[in-house]
Copies of this chain bind each other. A is one copy, B any other.
């Protein structure tokens, strides 16, 4: 474990995933402030306006540098640009979508991805009837074409929208093809190797934040 290696390829070690998630939230808040014509903001005002915790904001940002200016606060556009860079949003990421059923199709048309620089450039499905079709100019292909396309298009990120039982096998193929990060919508426990980043999306967690508040209100 070379945690203190001075020239590790990872400049920033061990950032909690919740911090990363909050960086995304802060970026959206700053975007909104920018649209509203606000140039600078204090961490207190930022926190108050968007219902955040100002100490948390400062702590999260402190992982990455000193962004606040005494007596001024944060420069909205400057901080937004910094956070986008940290999140890798200063570039475009070609993305593979695997599974083109209802969910895959909905994700394909989801506008939010492209807005943040995630461009679905290839779709894979195991149904031969779909192969060769173009969806908004993007080809739907067989999983057999995965290694070739991942290489040719420089794809590092895949979105997995296949049925639960197919997910482990498809994950193996994604890994073998050189995919480095997987956003998984299938309700399966996947175990990619350590150098492949996995993020499971569990939509019921979103509903639970709602039922929590309803349940609290009724007790």
Contacts and interface: CB of A to CB of B under 8 A. Distances in A.
Interface in A192-219: 197, 199, 201-219
B203 A113 contact: yes
Nearest to A102: B106
A110 B211 contact: no
B53 A16 contact: yes
B21 A211 contact: no
Contacts of A20: 208-209, 212-213
A21 B88 contact: no
A25 interface: yes
A79 interface: no
B181 A214 contact: yes
B212 A116 contact: no
A155 B163 CA distance: 29
Interface residues of A, number: 69
Interface in A72-94: 85-89, 91, 93
Interface stretch (A7-15, A121-129, A143-151, A166-174): A7-15
A28 B208 CA distance: 12
B10 A216 contact: yes
Given A88-B211, A197-B213, 19 more contacts: A10-B216, A11-B216, A15-B216, A20-B208, A20-B213, A23-B208, A24-B205, A24-B209, A87-B211, A87-B215, A88-B212, A89-B211, A112-B187, A115-B204, A118-B207, A157-B214, A180-B214, A183-B210, A197-B210
Interface of A: 9-12, 15-18, 20-25, 28, 53, 85-89, 91, 93, 95, 101-103, 105-107, 109-113, 115-118, 156-157, 159, 164, 180-183, 187, 197, 199, 201-219
24 contacts: A15-B216, A18-B22, A24-B204, A28-B202, A87-B211, A87-B212, A87-B215, A88-B208, A88-B214, A93-B207, A93-B211, A95-B207, A105-B106, A110-B203, A111-B164, A112-B203, A112-B204, A117-B211, A157-B207, A157-B214, A181-B211, A181-B213, A182-B210, A199-B210
